Amino acid sequence: MLHTLDIAGMVCPNNVFLAPMAGYTNYPFREMCRALGAGLTFTEMVSAKGLHYKSEETKQLLLCGEESPKAAQIFGSDPGVMREACESEALKDFDLIDINMGCPMPKIVKNGEGSALMENFPLAEKVISACAKSGKRISVKFRIGTDGAHKCAAEFAKLCEGAGACLITVHGRTRDKIYAGPPDYAEIAAAKAAVRIPVVANGGIWSLKDAERMTERTGADGVMIARAALYRPTVFCEFTGEAEPPLFALFERELEETRRLYGDRFALVFMRKMAAFYLKGRHGSARGKQRLFATQSVGELSLLARELLAPEK
């Protein structure tokens, strides 16, 4: 199923992407996944208002390097502010700007952002159109609807294409399901059939087998992997056929890069969480997580992770 994907002249080396995940897809994690085989990675979702008010914390989410291609995800509901974000210096190095219209979290939805825009087609269209006028490549990530009685993947896909998006990613669950339950293949297939631009499918993809099932049933041009990468970033190696590097070695490199970019305190807190993800399914993982969260320094965390993440015999 692996092949290159052309998105309005931006050629991705393959069609298996890393999803934007708030609180997790910082630069070191994205770079690790890219090195392991992800064809495109996305930043955490970035507030357009945060960029408007020149929030340094918001800008930190956009740290990147010389990798290419690369994508950022933004969210907001004010067309003017969203266009301003796309034209900003902070996003100038990104080849693709993705608009989040799928986030189900109440604090986002209550502000009329994320998946709330799926309930306001006219405003969603204005937001996408305004962003497209920036001259940047624009994609949209959305869900198949708000609940089982209000599915609209095909209609929303057409809206996105008509407003100027050059790619859509469809999360195959409704907003009320959050991340639970199987993806709705029929709705994703309907979205794919409704447009001519590339369609990437998201939701419930934990392995190569899951991805193959997804593309076979939906006709999607590619897949986007989210939580599976948090637990096992080497999942991308299943697609490329490359040998999986030792997990503890990947962790140590990620820890050092996170420390270099964000400092010791952030690295300790963030990488304790990542090590806990990487422990999933291992013998003694519950006790291992307790030990991880008791560490008080980056050095202590590094030594413990080497022990806990060593290849199991």
Q: Which residue has the tokens 């593309």?
A: 215
Q: Does residue 103 carry a catalytic annotation?
A: yes
Place of tokens 């006709």: 219
Selected catalytic residue, list 103, 131, 152, 166: 103
Q: Which residue has the tokens 């199923």?
A: 1
- Rg of the chain in Å (alpha carbons): 19
Q: According to DSSP H, which parts of 201-297 are helical?
A: 208-218, 227-231, 235-240, 247-262, 264-278, 285-293
Work out the angle between the directed axes of helices 298-308 and 264-278 (0-180°, nearest 10): 10
Residue 12's contacts (CB-CB under 8 Å, 6 or more residues apart) are: 4, 5, 6, 39, 40, 69, 222
- Nearest Cα neighbor of 190 from 181, 177, 199 is 199
CB count in 10 Å sphere of residue 119? 15
Instruction: Compute CA 232 distance to the chain's CA centroid, rounded to the nearest angstrom.
Output: 15
CB 3 within 8 A of CB 25: no
What distances in angstroms separate CA 40 from CA 10, 16, 17, 284, one per listed residue? 11, 7, 5, 34
Q: E strands, the chain, where?
A: 5-7, 10-12, 16-18, 40-47, 71-75, 96-101, 137-143, 167-171, 199-202, 222-225
- Residues 6 or more apart whose Cβ sits within 8 Å of residue 208: 1, 238, 239
Instruction: Please state, in angstroms and as integers, the Cα–Cα distance from residue 114 to each residue in 70, 75, 282, following that order.
Output: 21, 6, 35
Number of CB atoms found within 10 A of residue 44's CB: 20
Active site residues: 103
